[in-house]
Structure 1
Amino acid sequence: MPHRLPPSPSVLGAPVSHRLWVTLRRSRAAPHQHTRTPIPTKDPAPAARMLRVIRTSLLSLSLPLLLPALCGGLGGGAFAAEKAAAASAAAPADTSGIDWARARQHWSFIPPKAQALPAVRDTAWPRGRVDRFILAQMEQHDLTPSREAEPRTLLRRLYFDLTGLPPTPEEAQAFLSDTRPGAYQRLVDDLLGRRAFGERMASLWLNLARYAEDQAHQVGNNTSLNLPNAWRYRDWVVAAFNADLGYDQFIQRQLAVDLLEPQNKADLPALGFLGLGHKLYARGRLDVQAEEWAEQVDTVSQTFLGLTVACARCHDHKFDPVSTRDYYAMAGVFASVKKVSLRPDGKDEDDKTNAEKMDPGTLHIVRDDEKPHDLPIYQRGNVDTPGDVAPRAWLQVLSKGEPVKFQQGSGRAELARHIAAADNPLTARVMVNRVWDMLFGRPLARTTSNFGAMGDKPTHPALLDDLAVRFMQQGWSIKRLVRELALSATYRQSSQGSAANAQLDEANDHLWRMNRKRLGIEPQRDAVLAVAGTLSPEGGRSMDLAAADHYKRTLYSQISRKELNKTLMLFDYPDANVHAARRSESTTPTQKLYVMNSPFMQAQARALAQRLQQHAPDDAARIRHAYALLFAREPLPQETELALHFLQQPADPAAGMSPWEQLAQALLATNEMTYVD
């Protein structure tokens, strides 16, 4: 188990910036990793000594964003000279020195345009526009497409990609026996119409929105900053995807539905995107408030724009055309907003009310301050050294000329409109890229939340532009986008390799085959429950994932910033303190040990064994049903023979499980339950 720092807001008595502490927790650095940090000859105070260690650690982690917050928030004697120098620096009106015309020539700032279909030699293979772009690039590199995957493989791929659940044997049989034209298209449409589609999409979206139900810090029994009804935002997200709410509206309602549609009370939970942000202790202090603004800017800009605007908090962005003025112009929007817990009677919950005493209908949302205000440009991010005021406004690089200043309240509504505008070159591209990643296991632009200079350029830029333009033209419909991609010949390819193609493109950058995808923790656990026959369709209020009676989909589990559930952590669920661009993947011995020894897996193995034994009177039929349930296929002769041989062995009392229960657990532990071809 990786080393984790305790959830403490101080180090040796010195208060630590929240963003710094989150970063240290995420780094999971072992205590011995920084033993080469220089130590002064004269032993300083413990806090000052720790500051040196932290500062050097941050430099090694390449996190310049957090250094000024550290220097300003923890100053003391260690950085007195630096603070004095910052305080004496004046703030000229525009110190960016950015060549805006040149900056707008970066690929992601150029508005996408519909593309002419490229010519291809093999005109029989493409099924639609997507395939023409993919095949043209393949042919340029002397690659050939892989054959279409077998129907059973496509069936299982579609079910997991679109719903996060496996097909039942009955569903598999219905699809495989449907010989009418259009069977595959009908299956895609059927899955898009299921509630499970919204749940699948929500499980991906919530990581972007850093969804959580508590805060990273808690003092004693004070839970007043926690978010016990965060699940109402989660359920809104599920419903929005299922209703195919246009993505432009999806954005605007999460940022400002109360301002854009004052009479729309049904969508107020959408404001949880902002309302579930960090609420820190000592919130009356300006430096603490600045941490909350930074968190909002970071989450909003990365999620919707694929830009790291918060990197300009202390200085102009080192790589992208985002000035410090841009940062404070956006931060001013969030500085003019307050997080509230709104009760069903329309009144705000008292800030001191503990989570367990909050009304169950309470919504964690945001509301504009009565008097919105612009922020000064704090030199080096230090709130003790304010400079010129930066009016709330849109980003300059995305503006035609001077940025448009926000005049309506906090500016949330105007910010939402600018982000979701059709002439914004980033928003559609970013979301199309995320959906592509979901279906193909790899995005067109690898850095899904960084479309700036340090991000990767797309492997298929013309295709990304064409999809982005048509995504907007078709009402920003997520379902139409998913449908087009799922129906493509590119998506239907086998994941099996070709020696000739692999020599030319081993990494499959040109998509000559489908990428084999590993299931995340949600579909993996949900599939175990589904095949064991214990999965509950119930949604609503979250449950503790460790609870023995938690049979809901994993989406409906409590997510903690303070202490993430160990099973979620083990299977690469991201840290809920920050926006997560995409999931990481790891393969560790402890994951297999969990499958072998955890009470959850053993309980589901017993349930599966009971289900199989009740299904048929003989072992051979039970084995066939097991493979139909778990893998949507018939067992191979050698697989049946091996299973029968195992079942005929004398039971081992020391195992604590019957032979059928042991076999069920072994099947649940296979790679075929973990990967989708």
Structure 2
Amino acid sequence: MAFYRTTAILLLLCAALPCRADQLTADELRFFETKIRPVLIRECYGCHSNEAGNVRGGLRLDTKELMLIGGSAGPAVVPGDVEQSWLYNAITHQDFVMPPKRKLSPTVIDDFRQWIEMGAPDPRASNIVEIRSTISEADVQQARETFWAYKKPVDQTPPDVKDIHWPRTDIDRFVLAKLEQADLQPTADAEEYKVLRRICFDLIGLPPTPEQITFFTEKWENDPDQAVSYVVDKLLEKKQFGERWGRHWLDVVRFAESTGREVNMTYPHAWRYRDYVIDSFNDDKPFDQFVQQQIAGDLLPAKTDEKWAENLVATTFLAIGPKNINEQNRVQFAADLVDEQIDATTRVFLGTSVACARCHDHKFDAIPQTDYYAMAGIFRNMTTYFGNPPSDFGNFSAAQAKQNSSLMILPIDDPNPYDKHYTKLELQSLRDEITEKMGEVKQLRRANMGDGNAANAQRNRIRLNNELATLSNKLAVVDKNGIPRSYCMGVQERRSPTNAKLLLRGEIDQAAQVVERGFPQVLCSVLPTIDNQSSGRLELASWIASEQNPLAARVMVNRIWQYMIGQGIVTSTENFGTTGQPPSHEELLDHLARRFVQSGWSIKSVVRDIATSRVYRMSTTFDSQSHQYDPDNALLWRANPRRLDAEAIRDAMLSISGEINSDRPRGSEVAQAGYTRVQGGVLGNPRDIARRAFGTVARNSRSTRGMQRGRMDRSLQDVARAVTGQLDQENSKFRSIYLPIVRDEEPRSLDVFDFADSSAIIGTRESSNTANQALYMMNNRFVIQQSNVFADRVLQQQTTPTKQLEFAFLLAYGRPPTSGERSAATAFIRQFAPTTSYRSRGQKTMSAFCQSLFASAEFRYID
């Protein structure tokens, strides 16, 4: 089949489209040929045509099509709209000066204004070619009928097994049948404390408490099945479930609180989406509704303002990806934004990378390039809001941020908790300061034209732009009375939807034929229709979250299985295509997918089914014969030992020490910082932050006068070092999901333990065992701090050395120590400070012992 080839051939029809001059009136044609074309040739083609080679600003004016597409500043001409036409802006010397060094005559400028207002009639050929796909309709149909992932899941009858006493659920029958076919036996059940620890970490991300251990052990002795079922139901009701499983989802949807890339600007309202995800998992929101809200929440009906606000916040999914806001070409930025949104939507919900077809037909799957641009037509008809709302003076950006955006206003009163209320006097002071800075900008322009000191002018321009951006951002988040408005990130539909043009090699200045909006054909047995007045985004969301889509349910239950069992039935969680891994248990995957849909798309029901299965409670005992036959444990002859992820390790230390704060913090550190640039782990300019902190120190220090005499720089350095840890939040006691996640500046406590790359779609985290992790557990201030508090808890609650050791083991490992461990621990405590009495060395010794428990492999692993 053609779509399995590793290379694709693009066949071009060299005949250009007709120039459509016959659609112009005689007067329009005459006006263009006599008044517009001669000026373009004489004044513009030297720098902005195909003959110019590397055209300036990416702008070409020698064809109608490329002129409308525009360059780095946007469309050169917007028919009927003089204000939005950058060509007119340039020839009138507003923000651009074209031609350079002189201005066109008033008559020529008036001709261009008149031409744009009449609709910019232009008879020039667009030189558009049509790209034909090598993937035929027959190829698509064959893939749809033969490849397992493109066929709808069907109800599966659980297979018969020889050992009828081992299975507890249908899941067990599917797994055991595969093992029996291979003459393999499942391992025995794990010990009860290991099962409980596994359930607690998998469902809520926290270790079991001593009370839970005692209760579960008693129930296990009477009826293990009932004990597991009872604990699972209780944990599913806890709010910590949403925090644990919400973090899994945030991995997949590339959640972060900044743009990343070269100019890393914050997302002060990203926390709203984080909280929305946590609440959705706690409420067991039907997954089909969860999907529709994130793709098209702004288009869904809502009976209340609160529901409408929830739907808007959900669309943050489409706005929260990484962005190169330093991109100078607005057309390129828009194309890359749509590409990122298509990639996220298809990989997250469909396990398929349609974005691979941006530049050519998909090299392996039956996805022609036209399918990509059919989806691009859907996503290009919305506005993405991710930046900072404009103030009355306009939306100034940091000098390095070439692309900016506004935010959506919520229909409810729910402002960012850190947004400041301004008095009328403070508002006026801000406005006056902005006016003063804008005056400096004008003076700078005039001075630069006179003395020609370009380097100095550039430095001053950057400084003023940054200062204006800071002042504008303060005004942007409040109304005219100084009261904070309620904003969120997200998307909104545009009016009058249009189709996208296919781009040769994905290049914005190589437009080909128009492609009608639509969905990937290979996934649709019947192609849904899109109304001419609709972008198709609501239809896309409805189709993805429906039984007609063969992939959404499979992809999600495969993710749940992976988080519970340790590896997916399809191990390539974001690639269900021909280059992905085939399912190890295809019938089981279909069974789970059908159960998922029939349960009302309930995530908790799937979690419950897996957690109460016999498969889930197997031990990790190694068997050489089974390993020789199945070294990857694909058939699940034993449980997979797993290292805890970064959040669970940090949260476990807080839980064991007793310092964990179970309340949800409102907002985040990024919300407090506002819309600003992240530099070297600091939210904002490090020196400015240090100076503000220094001012506070100086007012409260006896050595203020000494600092003013020469120690100011050293003090600033000390304060700067202190604030550089603001993103690590080492003194915070809330759960790790609430730590600020800034791209390229993740907290050390998460990063060292393989935290998900927040700029990528991560369905499966890496799990390493490195020297850096050991060094972190030995030397990090947070670990030492929690070890000290852990020791205090042990010493306060237990009075004898024997009970203290047992209690410490119970908290850390969920079990009492063995006799060998008790002897080793006792010897360590005696030898730690042999010259002092036990009573005097108690806290310090116990802290070292508790830290050794944290640093052990058993603490970091689920057995």
Residues 227 and 355, structure 1, Cα contact 8 Å, conserved in 2: no
Q: Distance in 1 between matches of 2:644 and 2:281?
A: 21
How far 1:370 moved relative to its partner? 2.4
Q: Give the partner amino acid of 1:265.
A: W
Question: Which residue does the alignment assign to 1:122?
Answer: 163
**Conservation of the 8 A alpha-carbon contact between 1:394 and 1:418:** no
The separation in 2 between residues aligned to 1:672 and 1:528, in whole angstroms, is 13
- Whether the aligned pair in 1 keeps the contact of 2:295 and 2:317 (CA below 8 Å) is yes
Please give the alpha-carbon distance, in whole angstroms, between the structure 2 residues aligned to 1:401 and 1:458: 26
1: CA distance between counterparts of 2:601 and 2:532?
A: 27
State how far apart, in whole Å, the 2-side matches of 1:622 and 1:408 are: 71
Specify the alignment match of 1:542 in structure 2.
668
Q: Name the counterpart of 1:96.
A: 135
Alignment partner, residue 238 of structure 2: 194
> Which of 376, 380, 387 lines up with 1:331 in the alignment?
376
Alignment of 1:588-607 (within 5 A): 588-607=770-789
> 1:500 deviation in Å?
3.1
Cα distance, 1:431 vs structure 2 = 0.5
In structure 2, the partner of 1:171 is: 212
Aligned partner of 1:265 in structure 2 is: 308
Distance 1:102 1:364 in 2: 41
Separation of aligned partners in 1, 2:741 and 2:596:
32
Q: SS at the partner of 1:370?
A: coil
Partner letter of residue 404 of structure 1?
T
Instruction: Note the 1:33-52 alignment, pairs <5 A.
Output: none
Task: Provide the C-alpha distance between the structure 1 equivalents of 2:476 and 2:646, rounded to a whole number of angstroms.
Answer: 32
Structure 1 residues 118-517: aligned runs within 5 Å: 118-178=159-219, 181=223, 182-217=226-261, 219=263, 226-263=266-303, 264-267=307-310, 268-281=312-325, 282=327, 285-340=330-385, 341-344=407-410, 354=473, 358=477, 359=484, 361-400=486-525, 404-405=529-530, 407=532, 409-517=534-642
Could you say what secondary structure the match of 2:490 adopts? Answer: strand
Deviation at residue 581 of structure 1 after TM alignment: 2.4
After superposition, the C-alpha distances for 1:107-130 in whole angstroms (9 at most, x for unaligned) are: 100111111221211111111111
- 3-state DSSP of counterpart to 1:376: strand
**Per the alignment, in what secondary structure is the counterpart of residue 388 of structure 1?**
strand
Q: Measure the CA separation in 2 of the matches of 1:398 and 1:406.
A: 20
**Residues 610/379 of structure 1: CA separation in 2 closer, same or farther (3 Å cut):** same
Equivalent in the alignment of 2:855: 669
CA apart distance, 1:351: 10
SS of 1:126's partner is: coil
What letter is aligned with 1:145?
P
CA contact (8 A) 2:570 2:582 kept: yes
Cα 1:558–1:406 shift into 2, 3 Å: farther
Determine the C-alpha separation between the residues in 1 that align with 2:191 and 2:250.
33
SS of 2:268's equivalent in the other structure is: coil
Alignment of 1:608-623 (within 5 A): 608-623=790-805
Q: 1:24 is matched with which residue?
A: none
Q: Cα offset for 1:279?
A: 4.2
Secondary structure of 1:658's aligned partner: helix
Measure how far apart 1:571 and its partner are. Answer: 1.3
1:585 aligns with 2:770: no
Q: In structure 2, what is the Cα distance between the partners aligned to 1:108 and 1:650?
A: 60
Partner of 1:522: 647
Question: Quick one: distance in 1 between partners of 2:376 and 2:469?
Answer: 23
Deviation at 1:146, TM superposition (A): 1.0
The 1:184/1:574 distance shift into structure 2, 3 A limit, reads closer
**Conservation of the 8 A alpha-carbon contact between 1:108 and 1:452:** yes
**Shift of the alpha carbon at 1:371?**
3.0
**Larger displacement relative to structure 2 (563-572 or 90-99):** 90-99
In structure 1, how many angstroms separate the alpha carbons of the residues matched to 2:323 and 2:494? 16
Give the aligned residue type for 2:844: S
Alignment correspondent of 2:735: 553
The letter for the 1-side match of 2:191 is E
Q: Does the aligned pair in 2 maintain the 1:529–1:551 contact within 8 Å?
A: yes
Return 5+ residue gaps in structure 2 as ranges.
Answer: 1-70, 73-125, 386-406, 417-467, 478-483, 670-725, 836-840
Whole-angstrom distance in 2 between the partners of 1:148 and 1:261: 49
Shift of 1:97: 3.0
The alpha-carbon distance between structure 1 residues 408 and 554, as it changes in their structure 2 partners (threshold 3 A), is: farther
Would the aligned equivalents of 2:308 and 2:411 in 1 still touch at CA under 8 Å? no
Give the drift of 1:403.
5.8
Kept after mapping to 2: 8 A contact 1:375/1:389: yes
Whether the 8 Å CA contact 1:408–1:414 is kept in 2: the answer is: no
SS at match of 1:304: helix
Structure possessing the higher radius of gyration over alpha carbons: 2
Task: Return the alpha-carbon distance in structure 1 between the equivalents of residues 527 and 230 of structure 2.
Answer: 50
**Secondary structure of 1:409 counterpart:** coil
Q: What are the Cα deviations for residues 460-495 of structure 1, in whole angstroms up to 9, with x where unaligned? A: 001101111121111111011110111111111111
1:564 CA drift (Å):
2.9
Offset of 1:354 from its aligned partner? 3.8
Tell me, which stretches of 5 or more residues in structure 1 are unaligned? 1-71, 74-86
Cα RMSD, aligned residues only:
2.6
Alpha-carbon spacing, 1:346–1:542, altered in 2? closer, same or farther (3 Å): closer
Q: 1:218 to 1:356 in 2, by over 3 A?
A: farther
The whole-number CA distance in structure 2 between the counterparts of 1:272 and 1:652 is 59
Q: CA deviation at 1:401?
A: 5.1
TM-score (norm 2): 0.65
1:337 to 1:562, Cα distance in 2 relative to 1, 3 A:
farther
Q: Percent identity?
A: 38
Quickly say closer, same or farther: Cα 1:110–1:618, change in 2 above 3 A: same
Provide the rounded CA distance (Å) in 2 between the counterparts of 1:339 and 1:609.
Answer: 50
Query: Using the alignment, how far apart are the partners of 1:361 and 1:665 within structure 2?
Result: 44
- What secondary structure is seen at the aligned counterpart in 1 of 2:315? helix
Q: 1:507 is paired with a residue of what secondary structure? A: coil
Secondary structure in structure 2 of the residue aligned to 1:625: helix
Cα deviation per residue 1:401-425 (whole Å; 9 max; x = unaligned)?
Answer: 5563354533221110111111211
Which segments of structure 1 move beyond 6 Å, counting only runs of 4 or more? 346-352
Does structure 2 retain, via aligned residues, the 8 Å contact 1:496–1:513?
Answer: yes
C-alpha distance after superposition, 1:144-171 (max 9, x if no partner): 1111111111100000011110011011
Deviation at 1:517, TM superposition (A): 1.2
- Give the superposition deviation at 1:657: 8.3
CA distance in 1, matches of 2:747, 2:371: 37
TM-score by length of structure 1 reads 0.83
How far residue 435 of structure 1 moved from its aligned partner, in angstroms, is 0.3
Secondary structure of the corresponding residue to residue 112 of structure 1: coil
Residue 489 of structure 2 aligns to a residue whose secondary structure is: strand
Query: CA-to-partner distance for each residue in 1:82-128, whole Å, 9 max, x for gaps?
Result: xxxxx978224655335111111211001111112212111111111
CA distance in 2, matches of 1:382, 1:669: 52
The question of whether the paired residues in 2 share the 8 Å contact of 1:131 and 1:489 is answered with: yes
Instruction: Tell me the distance in 2 between the aligned counterparts of 1:203 and 1:93.
Output: 43
| CA distance in 1 between partners of 2:584 and 2:493 (Å) | 42
